[in-house]
Each structure stands twice: as C-alpha cells, then as structure tokens.
Amino acid sequence: MLRKVLFWGVAVVFPLPLVLTYNTLAVEPEQLRFYVTLGLTAYAWWLLAIVLSVRPPWLERLVGLPSIYGLHGMLGVLAIVLAYVHRDNSYSGSQLAILLGDWSFYAAVTVLLFSVFFLSGWLVDRVRLLLSAKRLLEKVFHHQLSVWVHRLNLVIVAMIWLHAHLLVRVNQYFAFMMLFDVFTVAVLGLYVWKKWIAPDTYLTATLVSNQARGGSSRRLSVELDHAAASIRPGDFFFLRFEGAQAVSKEWHPFSVTDDDQKTLSFTIRQHGDFTRRLTDVSVGSRVRLEGPFGRFESIVRKQDADAPLVLLGMGAGVAPLLSLAAAHHTTRNIHLLWAVRDPQDAYYRDVLARYQASSDNRMHVTTKVGRFRRDDLAELLPADAVRNGAFFIVGPNPAVLANQRLLRKIGVSSRRIHQERLTM
Ligand SMILES: Cc1cc2nc3c(=O)[nH]c(=O)nc-3n(C[C@H](O)[C@H](O)[C@H](O)COP(=O)(O)OP(=O)(O)OC[C@H]3O[C@@H](n4cnc5c(N)ncnc54)[C@H](O)[C@@H]3O)c2cc1C
C-alpha cells in the first residue's frame, strides 16, 4: 500500500522542478503565474504519462502493470482538467500560440475519450452494453488502430512544446526554457530508446512448437537463446515475432505456463487479429521477449508458509496459475479452480492431474465447464482458505471483476485478492 502511495506521489514531485523554477523566475502577476503553473503541471503530467508507457520492468516488479497503466490513465484525465482551467483563464498576443493551445487541447480530449473507450477497461469492463459496442466497433477500429490513435499524444506534446516556446510570458526566462527543453528531450529520448533501441537488448528465442489446444487456443513454446535467471513463476512477457509474415510486429503480453527457465510455453486464446494469425507462425520463427514482468511470485513469498493459495483461472487465464502450481504444488496447499467454456477447452487436465498426484494431497483441482457461482465457491473452498488464503484470479476483465465480487461475498477480504486481467 505504502509503495502505491509513494508511486502516486511521483505525480506530485515530477512537475515540481518546472513549476518551482518558473515561479522563482517569473515576475508576472500572481494570478497569471497560477494559470501558467496549471498549464505546466498538465504538460509535466503528459510527459510523465509517456515515461510510464515504457513500463520499466523494475517499476512493474514494484507496483504491478495495472498500477502503472492506472496512473498513466489518471494523469491523462487530470492533465485535461488542468489544461481546461489554464486555457479558459489565459491570454496571449501570439495567434499561433493560441491556435496550438486550442488544437492540442481538443486533440487531447478526443484521444482521451477514444482511449478510455477502446484501450482502458474503465467503462467497458463494467457496462456490458458498452463492451458489446466496443467489440462491434473493433471490427472497424482494430485494436492496433486504437494504439496508433493513442500515440497521437506524442504529436500533442510536440504542439504544446511549441505553444510554450511562442509565449513571451515563459520564453523570456532562459533558465526555465532550458529546463523545459531538457525535460521534453529526456522523456521523448527515453521513449525513442525504449521503442527502437532497447528491443535489441531483450531476450531472444526460437519457436520450437506451435500446437492447437481445445477449440480456440494454442500452446506456443519458445527456446531461449540464453536462459534467464530472473524469470519467476506466474511471470508474463511481451512477445514480438521477428520476420514472421503471418503476424504484425506489435508486442503482445502472454503469461508463462510452467516453470521451465529455458523453454518457455505460452497458452494463447485466439480471439483477435494478432492471436488468430498465430496459427500460421511456423516453428523456427524468431521471437523477441520484453520482460519478465509480474508480481504473483513476490506476493506468494510474502504469505505465511501454511496459508493456502487459491488459484482461480478463466480459460487461458490458467496459464500463470499453472506456472505457480508447477513451482509450489509440493510445498504449499493449493486450490486450483479452472472455469472453461466447453469440455474440449479443459486441455490441461492431464498436467493438473500430474501436479495433483505428486503433491502429497496438498493440491486440489476443480475444473468446471461454465463460470463458478457463489455456491460453488462456498462449497469448494474450505474455511481456512477463505479466512487466510491468498487468492489469485486471472481471466478476461469482466470475469475477474465478477469473481472478485463473489469472493468478497463469501468472506474473502479484498486485501488477499490479487488479479491479472487479460486486457489492458
Ligand atoms: C499481463 C497480461 C497477461 C496476459 N496473458 C495472456 C495469456 O497467457 N494468454 C492469453 O491468451 N492472453 C493473455 N493476455 C491477453 C492477450 O495479451 C490479448 O488477448 C492479446 O494481446 C489480444 O491480441 P489480439 O490480436 O488477439 O486481439 P486484438 O484484436 O488486437 O484485440 C482484442 C482485445 O484484446 C486486448 N488487447 C489487444 N492487444 C493487447 C495488448 N497488447 N495488451 C493487452 N491487451 C490487449 C484489447 O482489449 C482488445 O480489445 C494477457 C494480457 C495481459 C495484460
């Protein structure tokens, strides 16, 4: 909790150098300085949102990807609020500065609304009708198109940078403008480095198997060129296929399905443009992996050794849970619950039976066709698991939220529920 508060505290600290330098140097009336300060804070938050979008793995290990994306999104919203007040109360002699300010404001609002609907789960995970509308609209506005629309934020930042350079009210303060430019160049430089240079340093691997599993999933195994000691159970990577004609070169996140450090297996449900085309990616293709990411194992390690682990997976969401089970089935009490759409999707029954057999009665597995209801959970989970267990839920967002609610209703405290949602 403290970690998350400190992490959110970055939003307060990040704009300070710009704000303090400006307010120390500027001689404008206090009220005017206040509105400039709001504009500066909004700009600094947009820059910070860009920094977060590169998802540094060390930061992800500290606070988790949902927190990083959560702050990234909130900064976008708060920056718009500040920009609105700034724009409504400021004036300038430069027509171009005014135009750039206006365009960037309207563009930022448009991109924000678009991203909240298509990229975040803030609305669509909670309102079924909106989710159906999103799925329908994604037939035209493909996910990758939404990602590109989101990247327009970089153009917006460039416009605001120029807007600031045209304003006499700020550009007369040389030291401030230097700092302003250093901030901008450092953040955009980090982004460019992360997108185009850093991938050369990532793990590389060769696809060694690509098999169908159940009705609409595949298991892909990749052999790493060099074993990675930092991989932990429950981790996930962003994958990119190099030179494979079948799929785009965009990065997509998938969880490791077992605890092998050299050959990593991924269980992938095929439901969109990228995943459907994975069928055509041939063995021998080169793969690049960004990561590892994930906090499940560090959470497991913090639990009492005798606290049961309750692993609740939906469909391919079982992947990171299988990896946790592989690592802990001989030492921890585990209740693994797996909900699948139809019987043929229970493709890991044999693996689960194997772990169960070698667990000395520590591991209990329930596979169910259809979702778990409140009564199922109350019946399947013993009292000590409900009271002391550490719960890990993985699946599509709406299903994760629904299961979280059910667990709370049967008495599991929110603090002990950890989740990974299989969308952004
Ligand atoms: C931490 C994490 C771990 C995951 N692990 C697995 C796994 O082990 N197995 C599995 O089958 N799926 C996993 N996913 C989900 C998987 O990444 C997406 O389903 C996949 O990238 C969708 O690609 P697509 O081309 O099929 O769908 P698209 O047509 O591109 O999009 C369909 C929907 O998938 C989501 N999506 C698309 N691209 C991404 C992306 N890069 N990141 C997050 N969401 C995206 C969006 O909500 C979009 O609306 C995981 C997701 C996350 C965030």
28 CB-side CA count, 13 A: 19
Rounded to whole angstroms, how far apart are CA atoms 278 and 218? 8
Is residue 236 in contact with ligand 1, taking CB distance under 6 Å?
Answer: yes
Question: Given the CA of residue 255, which atom of ligand 1 is nearest to it?
Answer: 8
Residue 176 shares a structural domain with residue 230? no
Pocket test for ligand 1, best of 254, 270, 276, 420 (most atoms within 8 A of CB): 254
Q: How far apart are CA 180 and CA 165, in angstroms?
A: 10
**Closest residue to atom 27 of ligand 1, CA basis:** 272
Whole-prediction pTM: 0.92
Spacing, Cα 122 to ligand 1 middle (Å): 16
Asked whether residue 181 falls in the same domain as residue 250, the answer is no
pLDDT at 424: 55
Judge if the beta carbon of residue 242 lies within 6 A of ligand 1: no
Strand order in the sheet with 236-242: 252-255, 236-242, 286-293, 203-213, 217-224, 263-269
Q: Which two tokens stand for residue 312?
A: 């609740």
What is the 3-class SS of 265-293, one letter each residue? EEEEECCCHHHHHHHHCCCCCEEEEEEEE
- Where in the sequence is the domain holding 231, given as residue range(s)? 202-294
* 270 in Cβ contact with 214 (< 8 Å): no
What distance in angstroms lies between residue 422's CA and the mean position of ligand 1's atoms? Answer: 6
At 202 the pLDDT is 95
Q: Coil, strand, or helix at residue 366?
A: strand
Q: Where among 262, 294, 326 does a domain terminate?
A: 294
Query: Where does a domain end: 294, 310, 340?
Result: 294
269 alpha carbon to ligand 1 midpoint, in Å? 9
Same domain, 109 and 40: yes
| 22 and 145 together in one domain | yes
Sign of the CA dihedral with 188 first, then 189, 190, and 192 last: positive
Q: Is the CB of 286 inside a 6 Å radius of any atom of ligand 1? A: no
Among 240, 264, 11, 415, which residue's Cα sits nearest to residue 404?
A: 415
Read off the CATH number of the domain in which 353 is found. 3.40.50.80
Claim to verify: residue 87 and residue 111 sit in the same structural domain:
yes
Same domain for 55 and 106, yes or no, is yes
> Looking at the 3D structure of the chain, how many domains does it have?
3
Residue having the nearest C-alpha atom to atom 25 of ligand 1: 274
Residues 269 and 147 in one domain: no
Beta strands across the sheet bearing 390-395 = 363-369, 334-340, 309-314, 390-395, 417-421
CATH value at residue 287:
2.40.30.10
Q: Examine the domain organization and report whether 219 and 342 are in the same domain.
A: no
Total Cβ atoms within 10 A of residue 6 = 12
Q: Which atom of ligand 1 approaches the CA of 315 most closely?
A: 11
Q: Cα–Cα distance between 23 and 45 in angstroms, integer?
A: 18
What local confidence, expressed as pLDDT, does residue 121 receive? 86
> Which DSSP category does 207 fall into?
E
How far is 139 from 294, CA to CA, in rounded Å? 31
359-407 tens-digit pLDDT: 999 999 999 999 999 999 999 999 999 999 999 999 998 899 999 999 9
Q: Quick check: 188 and 154 in contact, CB under 8 A?
A: yes
Q: Are residues 194 and 320 in the same domain?
A: no
pLDDT of amino acid 229 = 82
Are residues 21 and 165 both part of a single domain? yes
CA of 135 to the centre of ligand 1 (A): 14
User: How remote is the C-alpha of 353 from its chain's centroid?
Assistant: 32
pLDDT at 246: 77
Ligand 1 atom closest to the Cα of residue 217 is: 11
Q: Are residues 174 and 221 located together in one domain of the fold? A: no
Low-confidence ranges of the chain (pLDDT < 70): 424
C-alpha distances (whole Å) from 293 to each of 50, 380, 391 are 19, 31, 19
C-alpha span between 389 and 311 (Å, rounded)? 10
Beta bridge partner(s), residue 334? 309, 363
Q: Is 35 in the pocket of ligand 1 (CB under 6 A)?
A: no
Cβ pair 361, 280 in contact under 8 A: no
Distance CA 80, CA 46 (A): 9
Same domain, 285 and 359: no
Which ligand 1 atom sits closest to the C-alpha of 257?
A: 8
What 3 state SS string does 108-145 have? HHHHHHHHHHHCCCCCCCCCHHHHHHHHHHCCCCCHHH
Structure letter (DSSP) for residue 330: T
Distance from Cα 144 to the centre of ligand 1, integer Å = 11
CATH number at residue 29: 1.20.120
Last residue of a domain, one of 263, 294, 325: 294
Q: Is the CB of 55 under 6 A from ligand 1?
A: no
User: What is the predicted pLDDT for the residue at 142?
Assistant: 87
Q: Which helix (H) or strand (E) holds 211?
A: strand 203-213
In whole angstroms, what is the distance from residue 256 CA to residue 219 CA?
10
